């Protein structure tokens, strides 16, 4: 009798329960954040109002009226969008060169790029702060865009490299025979073929830029400050105002959650890149 794999009914149930548990565990902080944002600062810390309370929009009104939320949000959009565009503009030619014209050093270059992510950001905090101040770029959009682009470039190049490697080299060579130059190969063949991969890379890069806090908090004050700075600025010396803080945080993560919700497919593809070939 042929041996076939038997799937256990309990195994399937167990996996479903586990998946739901993990899902809920990850969702809970967001749920709690949104819930708390509709409580007053006073209610937020009272155990009796844990789940049942009178909802208020006071924190959101306060945020838009007193803290200039829209300016911070606009800065977040500007810096994240441009950092992503520039990261792709540098990353696509770079990954193209390494995927289709590899040399003996390609592997080392890729590893070196990744190794820059292992550097603790704090190690270069002071040089970066002094440098940006001395050249007059402290608290400018340009500075934030460049920093966000550079810190995400290794992951962008790695992801694009993996996607490009999946494109048969013969197609690029056919292009060379057909008379396209390097830019033509990228524009006419590579980008249309790797569009899905480029989109997921762009999306992830955008999310990383949006959520970045270490540098955006430290290299800005007001002009180029992003939503991370707004959250950080809501820490008051008198203590934490949980209602207000939750509203600001919910308003900061809200756009990115909505974006992520609509682009789930691309995100999953992007996050599992290279896992299935």
Burial 180-199 (b: 16+ CB within 10 A, else e): beeeebbeebbeebbeebbe
Is 184 among the residues that bind other proteins (CB under 8 A)? yes
| Residue count, binding to other proteins (CB under 8 A) | 17
Q: Is 193 in the site for other proteins (CB under 8 A)?
A: yes
Binding of other proteins by 183 (CB under 8 A): no
For position 105 contacting other proteins by CB under 8 A, the verdict is no
Pick one of 3, 48, 65, 170: the residue that binds other proteins (CB under 8 A): 170
Smallest gap, in angstroms, from Cβ of residue 177 to other proteins? 5
CA distance 255 to 250: 9
Among 120, 168, 237, 239, binds other proteins (CB under 8 A): 168
Nearest to other proteins of 163, 241 (CB atom): 163
176 binds other proteins (CB under 8 A): yes
Residue 166 contacts other proteins per CB under 8 A? no
Mask of contacts with other proteins, 54-93, x by CB under 8 A? Answer: ----------------------------------------
Tokens of 83: 């950092």
Name the minimum Å distance from CB 157 to other proteins: 23
The answer to whether residues 80 and 210 touch, using CB atoms and an 8 Å cutoff, is yes
By CB under 8 A, name the one of 171, 240, 258, 268 that touches other proteins: 171
Please give the structure tokens belonging to residue 72: 């911070």
Nearer to other proteins, 136 or 179 (CB): 179
Instruction: Tokens for 276, please give them.
Output: 């299935």
* Distance in angstroms (rounded) separating the CA atoms of residues 160 and 88: 9
Among 57, 131, 174, 258, binds other proteins (CB under 8 A): 174
Among 127, 136, 192, 239, binds other proteins (CB under 8 A): 192
* 240 CB-near residues (< 8 Å, 6+ apart): none
Sign of the Cα pseudo-torsion (74, 75, 77, 82, in order): positive
CA-CA-CA-CA torsion sign (237, 238, 242, 243): negative
Is 148 a binding residue for other proteins by CB under 8 A? The answer is: no
Could you list the residues that contact other proteins (CB under 8 A)?
A: 168, 170-171, 173-181, 184, 188-189, 192-193
């Amino acid at each position: 009798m042929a041996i076939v794999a038997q799937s256990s009914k309990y195994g399937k149930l167990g996996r479903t329960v586990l998946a739901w548990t993990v899902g809920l565990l990850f969702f809970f902080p967001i749920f709690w954040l949104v819930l708390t944002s509709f409580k007053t600062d006073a209610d937020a810390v009272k155990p009796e109002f844990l789940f049942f309370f009178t909802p208020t929009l006071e924190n959101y009104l306060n945020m838009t009226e007193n803290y200039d939320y829209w300016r911070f949000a606009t800065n977040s959009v500007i810096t994240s969008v441009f950092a992503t565009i520039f990261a792709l503009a540098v990353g696509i030619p770079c990954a193209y060169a390494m995927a289709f014209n590899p040399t003996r050093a390609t592997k080392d270059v890729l590893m070196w790029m990744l190794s820059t992510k292992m550097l603790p950001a704090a190690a270069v905090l002071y040089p970066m702060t002094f440098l940006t101040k001395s050249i007059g770029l402290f608290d400018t959009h340009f500075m934030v865009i460049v920093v966000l682009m550079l810190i995400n470039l290794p992951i962008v190049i790695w992801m694009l490299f993996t996607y490009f490697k999946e494109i048969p080299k013969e197609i690029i060579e056919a292009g060379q025979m057909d008379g396209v130059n390097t830019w033509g190969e990228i524009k006419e063949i590579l980008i249309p073929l790797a569009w899905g991969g480029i989109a997921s890379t762009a999306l992830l890069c955008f999310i990383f830029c949006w959520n970045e806090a270490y540098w955006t908090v430290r290299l800005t004050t007001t002009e180029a400050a992003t939503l991370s700075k707004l959250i950080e600025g809501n820490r008051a010396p008198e203590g934490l105002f949980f209602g207000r803080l939750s509203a600001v945080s919910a308003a900061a993560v809200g756009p990115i959650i909505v974006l992520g919700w609509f682009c789930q497919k691309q995100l999953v593809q992007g996050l599992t890149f290279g896992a299935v070939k």
